[in-house]
């Protein structure tokens, strides 16, 4: 696993841009919410730590990870002034091929949204073999992947700002 022996919650604030005045949305899957809500909170707290005003961060929830695509598309269409969107989900392998179809669909869907919209859409969807791996990556022994998504959103919002809207 790529995150083995790494803490995803560590970043150097001095090396990252301040995003004061930037606007973000976080769209979170309610499925596996004991994991996804931790990821969402990690992303939101990171955005605030790096200068975003809490009032400039909107939170939305969708039923599952597959619905993140529609949710992000609608938010991007109705709020083109956003500097970035983070989609948060968790898909845990089960006994059927459902895992593969959901993971592939969500990955491709978020990729397509990044091409379609003039804003970065950050992928924070855990695709783990078991629940413990997801727990470990959502505030457990490997830190919180949501923090990493927050850092990525800040970096991409800064890139968007530097290159022009």
Task: Consult the annotation and say whether 29 binds a ligand.
Answer: no
Are residues 75 and 60 in contact, defined by beta-carbon separation less than 8 angstroms? yes
Q: Phi and psi for 118 in degrees, rounded to 5?
A: -90, 50
Alpha carbons 165 and 156: distance in angstroms, whole number: 12
Residue 117 annotated in active site: no
65 marked as part of a ligand binding site = yes
Q: Choosing from 34, 60, 79, 98, which is the catalytic residue? A: 98
31 is in an annotated binding site: yes
Q: Are strands 57-62 and 24-29 parallel, antiparallel or unpaired?
A: parallel
131 is in an annotated binding site: no
88 annotated as belonging to a binding site for a ligand: no
- On whether 107 is known to bind a ligand per the annotation, the reply is no
CA torsion, points 149, 150, 153, 157, in degrees to nearest 10?
-170
Q: Are 137 and 70 in contact (CB under 8 A)?
A: no
Coil vs helix vs strand at 91: strand
Helices (H), 5-97: 33-49, 68-78
Annotated binding residue 24: no
To the question of whether residue 37 is assigned a binding role by annotation, the answer is: no
**Annotated binding-site ranges:** 31, 65-67, 90-92, 95-96, 123, 137
**Annotated binding-site ranges for 5-amino-6-(D-ribitylamino)uracil:** 31, 65-67, 90-92, 123
**Annotated binding-site ranges for (2S)-2-hydroxy-3-oxobutyl phosphate:** 95-96, 137
Active site residues per annotation: 98
């Amino acid at each position: 696993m790529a995150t083995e022996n790494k803490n995803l919650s560590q970043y150097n604030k001095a090396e990252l841009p301040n995003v004061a005045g930037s606007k973000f949305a976080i769209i979170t899957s309610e499925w596996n919410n004991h994991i996804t809500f931790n990821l969402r909170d990690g992303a939101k707290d990171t955005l605030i730590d790096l200068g975003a005003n809490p009032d400039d961060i909107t939170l939305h929830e969708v039923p599952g990870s597959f619905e993140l695509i529609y949710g992000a598309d609608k938010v991007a269409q109705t709020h083109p002034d956003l500097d970035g969107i983070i989609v948060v989900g968790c898909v845990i392998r089960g006994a059927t091929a459902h895992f593969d179809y959901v993971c592939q669909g969500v990955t491709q869907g978020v990729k397509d949204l990044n091409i379609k919209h003039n804003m970065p859409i950050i992928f924070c969807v855990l695709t783990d073999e078991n629940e413990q791996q997801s727990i470990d990556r959502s505030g457990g022994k490997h830190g919180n992947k949501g923090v990493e998504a927050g850092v990525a959103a800040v970096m991409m919002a800064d890139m968007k700002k530097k290159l022009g809207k």
